[in-house]
A and B are shown apart, each in its own frame.
Chain A
Amino acid sequence: MPVPEVKDNFAGSVNRITLGATKDEGGTRSSIVTIGGAKNVVYGGCPEDAGETPVIAMDVLDSKPQDWPDALAEPYEDVLGSPADWAKKCVDEFGAELICIKFDAIHPDKGDKDADHAVKVTEEVLKAVGVPLVLWGCGNDEKDNQVMPKVSGAAKGEKCLIGTVQEDNYKSLTAIALADGHFLITAAPLDINIAKQVNILASDMGFLLERMVTFQSTGALGYGIEYAYSIQERQRLAALSGDKMMAMPVICDVGYESWRAKEAKAEDSPGWGAVTDRGPMWEAATATCLLQAGADIIRMRHPRAVAAVKKFIAEVWKNTG
C-alpha cells in the first residue's frame, strides 16, 4: 500500500528576530543571535521548516545569590560576587550564546538595590562579554519601573531583549525599550488569552510585534510543566494559522524554576541518586521537555545541564536534511 502524502497548509510562521547589535549597527556586540522562523510544529514538515536553532541564555545574577543549592553554586564559586566575571565564565567556558542578567537584588525583599547598581552591572557585563544580552527585572512592579528604564538606557542601541511587561504593568518599560531600540519580553501567567492581550497592549503603544518575545511562564518538570508545554504548543499552532498577535518566539525560564523543585535539591532522598547529579538532570529534562513544545530561548543555570541540552539541540536541529 503506498504511503499517503502529508501536506500541511500553514499560512503563518514564527517571527524571526536577531538579537544584538554589532559595531556596524551601532552596538558593541561581537556576536548576534537569530531565533524563530519555524514554519511548522516541532518535527513537522520538511527540515527547513524547523526554523532557527533554539539557543540557551545563561543566567547571571546582579548580586551573589543567597539561596542557591550547593550543587548549583559550586561551578560558579569563584565568580558569584562579580556579574562580569560570571558572564565571562558562562561565555568562555560553557558556550553561552546569550547572557541573561537577572536583576534579583533590586527587589525590595532581596536587597533593594538602586538603579545605579543595576546600571553598573549592565555596563560591566556589556564590557566583559560580546554576546547579546537579556535584561530581566525582579518582578516587583514599582521597583522594575524605577530601575529597568535606566538599565535599558545603559544598554541603548545594543538590541537587547528586555522585560518583562505584563497586562497590568507594561507602559513604562515598553516606551523606554522602544526608544532605546531593544526587543521586548511580554509575560503572562500561564494564560494564553492574557498573553495575547499583553501583545496587543504593547503593540498599541507602537511597539512592533516583530520585536517581541513571549514568556508564557514556566513550570518545572513535576511542577506544572504540562501547562507551559500545552500553552507553547497552542501558541505555535496559532502562529502557524496566521495569528500575528501570537507569532512571537518563545522564551522559557528553566533555570530558576527547575532548581526550586524538591527533586533537584533535596539532599536526603534515598533511592533518588546523588543530589549533584539530580539537580542538573532536572534542569536538563525541564529544558528538553519544553523544547518539544517549541521554545526559542531557554534560560538555564547549571553548566552540565546546559551541555546536555546543547548537545541535544545540535543533534536535532543540525542541517543534514
Chain B
Amino acid sequence: MAGGGEAEDNPLPINVVPMVDIIFCLCVFFMCSFKFRETEGKFDSWLPKNKGEGGNPDPGPLQEMRVIMTWDQTSGLSRAYMHKKVKDDAELEQCIREAHEDFVAKNKPEIPLIIDGGAAVPWKEIMTVVNIGKALQIKNLEFAMGAADQAPAK
C-alpha cells in the first residue's frame, strides 16, 4: 500500500493533491453511475417446427386450459379462465391448479395452458400467467396468436 517511510527519507516530495482530486472525481463518477444489477432470467419458449395441420374434423371434447385476456384504456384488464371471469391472480391460479390437477388425475398432464391475450394486453400480465404456469409445473404453455380484442364472456 501507499504507507511506510519517513517524510525526510524522500528527497523528492510529490504533490499528491491533484491526484487526490482526480481520484475523488473518478470516485464520484463511478458512484453516481453505479447500479446494482438485478437477476435477470429467461423462460424458454420453443416455437413449433412443423407448419401445422389442416382443420381437424373431429376435435373431440375440449381438452385445454385457456386464459383469455383483454385490455383497453377505459376498463383496463379483464381476464377469464375458460369463459369464467376471474378477479385476481389468486383466483386465476386456483382455477388453473384445479384444472391441471384434474387432468393429471386423468393421466393427461400434457394438456396445455393456452394464453389467449389481446394485442393491447400489457406484457406484464402475460408473464404473470406464464409465471403461474411455471409455478404449477405445467409443461405445455402455449401462446394463442391473432386473438381479437374482445371482452371475455361474463
User: Do A and B come from the same complex?
Assistant: no
Q: Which residues of B does A touch, CB under 8 Å?
A: none
Q: Which residues of A does B touch, CB under 8 Å?
A: none
